[in-house]
Amino acid sequence: MYRLNEEQTALVEKARQIAADSIAPNANAVDAESRFPAEAVEALAKGGFLGLTIPTEYGGLGQGLRVAAAVLDEIAQVDASAAMVYLMHISACSCYVAYPASFEKILRDIAAGKHLTTLAWSERGSRSHFWAPVSQAVEEDGQLTLSATKSWVTSAGQADSYIVSTRTPGGTAATDTMLYVVYKDDPGFAISGPWNSLGMRGNGSSPMVLDKTIISADRAICAPSDGFRTMLEVVLPWFALGNSAVSVGLAEAATQATIKHLTGVGMQHLGNKLADFPTLRARLAQMRIETDKIRAHLVAVIDSVENPGPATTLYVLESKASAAEGAILVTDLGMKACGGAAFSKHLTIERNFRDARAASVMAPTTDVLWDFIGRALCGIDLF
Ligand SMILES: Cc1cc2nc3c(=O)[nH]c(=O)nc-3n(C[C@H](O)[C@H](O)[C@H](O)COP(=O)(O)OP(=O)(O)OC[C@H]3O[C@@H](n4cnc5c(N)ncnc54)[C@H](O)[C@@H]3O)c2cc1C
């Protein structure tokens, strides 16, 4: 469905192989032990995939959203936690790619598989409204002091760099924001709690604190007060559509597991397979239709991003909401179609069901997206 050329197809096939060989075998342990998918990151780094979206002039693979989405879809089919770690990396990479002159070393390190990055946006004070951080940088003698309580940061403590949002020094409006790079060995950087969640258990999305972290002005990602625009125009398409791809991968995983179960087991006393029950086949059919729908929707929106029009941003928001809710529907149908077997951990469906719920509460949450889309349709300002 992604309509890839030969080179892109080869890359996605390579990602599928990495997923099968190095990510899938650890997925259950990553989930059960709530541990960071280090093997996945190592394998992706070794295969050049940390640099998937980094321009070739910095040693990267120079790919865009289409291939990134197809790769995320593949990884999410075997381990959504690893896919989410990778998605936050790709999303944060978009900042470095947008301002390459300032971040050449990081770009080269990422391309060489030596640097993992992520976004540290959500704050305890403004929760899922990431566009309005309540922390505020203080500028003095050309240096900046950052103090912030970040509530959830994927790959917290594992990533080498963090794109941190905060209000512009001296700014008064909630959306007068800046983005800065913080390194994990910066003084005042600390992970402030464990990660123990319903799903995405390998994601390491712990809370993080910056306690009077002093950085130089050249750590700014964008111009003063340009954080809000950068978040929405540079990062959001990568994050929102990448998140859709993770939801699509999860829906595909549940659909495939359901096919295998319905055709693999049956009732001895009736001499049949579960697939012989029309109700279960109908549930499976709904799963297939919904999964195809959200993947086709995602690809249509990627088409629009590649050839932008006035409605492109709206389409991007629609895709994240539709894929998140679609994956919840599909994984729920899988739970029903496969009965007690799905409730147990010997099928992947219960993990897919738990993991799929994350996208709906990841900002912009589905509720917020529905509100934004409704506002846009009614001509009401979004912010
Ligand atoms: C697996 C995972 C990984 C994450 N990784 C990161 C990361 O790497 N970096 C990062 O910055 N953040 C990350 N987050 C945080 C995420 O983006 C959200 O900020 C967080 O999930 C919001 O949770 P909350 O309890 O603060 O929600 P709240 O903001 O308290 O929302 C509670 C409920 O209110 C609803 N709501 C909020 N505003 C409105 C509104 N205007 N209209 C209608 N309903 C509304 C929400 O939809 C939600 O249902 C991650 C979250 C998860 C689950």
Domains of the chain: 6-115 (1.10.540.10), 118-225 (2.40.110.10), 228-378 (1.20.140.10)
Average pLDDT value for residue range 163-171: 97
Q: Tens digits of per-residue pLDDT, 227-268?
A: 999 999 999 999 999 999 999 999 999 999 999 999 999 999
For residue 246, the model assigns a pLDDT of 98
Q: Is the CB of 214 under 6 A from ligand 1?
A: no
d(CA 43, CA 28): 17
The pLDDT of residue 154 is 98
Give pTM, 2 decimals. 0.98
Distance 366 CA to ligand 1 centre (A): 9
Rg (C-alpha) for the chain, rounded Å, is 21
Residue 371 near ligand 1, beta carbon < 6 Å: yes
Task: Give residue 184's pLDDT band: very low, low, confident or very high (50, 70, 90).
Answer: very high
pLDDT for the residue 333: 98
pLDDT of residue 205: 95
The confidence band for 57, taking pLDDT boundaries of 50, 70 and 90, is very high
Residue 363 Cα: closest atom of ligand 1: 17
What is the rounded CA–CA span in Å between residue 364 and residue 127?
Answer: 11
Nearest CA-CA partner of 8 in 88, 73, 89: 73
Which ligand 1 atom sits nearest the alpha carbon of residue 366? 47
Find the 4 Cα to ligand 1 centroid distance in Å. Answer: 33
Residue type, 244: S
- Ligand 1 centroid to residue 320 C-alpha, Å: 14
Q: Whose CA is nearest to atom 26 of ligand 1?
A: 127
Residue 89 has what pLDDT?
98
Nearest CA to ligand 1 atom 5: 154
Q: What is the mean pLDDT of residues 106-130?
A: 98
Probe ligand 1: pick from 149, 154, 236, 361, max atoms within 8 Å of CB?
Answer: 361
* Residue 152: pLDDT band with limits 50, 70, 90: very high
Protein residue with its CA nearest to atom 7 in ligand 1: 153
CA distance 48 to 93: 14
Is the Cβ atom of 85 under 6 angstroms away from ligand 1? no
The whole-number pLDDT of residue 38 equals 98
Of 65, 18, 372, nearest in space to 242 by CA: 65
Contacts of 136 (CB under 8 A, 6+ apart): 166, 167, 168, 169, 171
**Distance between CA atoms of 341 and 350, rounded to whole angstroms?**
9
Section 270-298 average pLDDT? 98
Which phi and psi angles does 356 have, rounded to 5°? -65, -25
The per-residue pLDDT for 129 is 97
Binning pLDDT at 50, 70 and 90, where does residue 179 land? very high
Q: Which residues contact 64 (CB under 8 A, 6 or more apart)?
A: 53, 306
DSSP state of 191: E
Q: Using CA positions, which residue lies closest to atom 31 of ligand 1? A: 128
The pLDDT score that the predictor gives to residue 63 is 98
Is residue 326 within 8 Å of residue 251, measured between CB atoms? yes
Q: CA dist 50 to 217, 283, 329, Å?
A: 27, 37, 31
Closest ligand 1 atom to 126 CA: 29
Phi-psi region of 36 (alpha: psi -120 to 50; beta: other; left: phi over 0): beta
Ligand 1 pocket, 363 CB below 6 A? yes
Question: For the chain, what percent of residues have pLDDT higher than 70?
Answer: 100
Bridge partners (DSSP) listed for residue 281: none
Pocket test for ligand 1, best of 34, 129, 152, 370 (most atoms within 8 A of CB): 152
Task: Give the distance, in angstroms, between the CA of residue 362 and the centroid of all CA atoms in the same chain.
Answer: 9
Q: What is the model's pLDDT at position 145?
A: 97
For the chain, the average pLDDT equals: 97
Q: Express as a percent the part of the chain with pLDDT over 90.
A: 99
236 CA to centre of ligand 1 in angstroms: 15
Residues 188, 176: contact at Cβ < 8 Å?
A: no
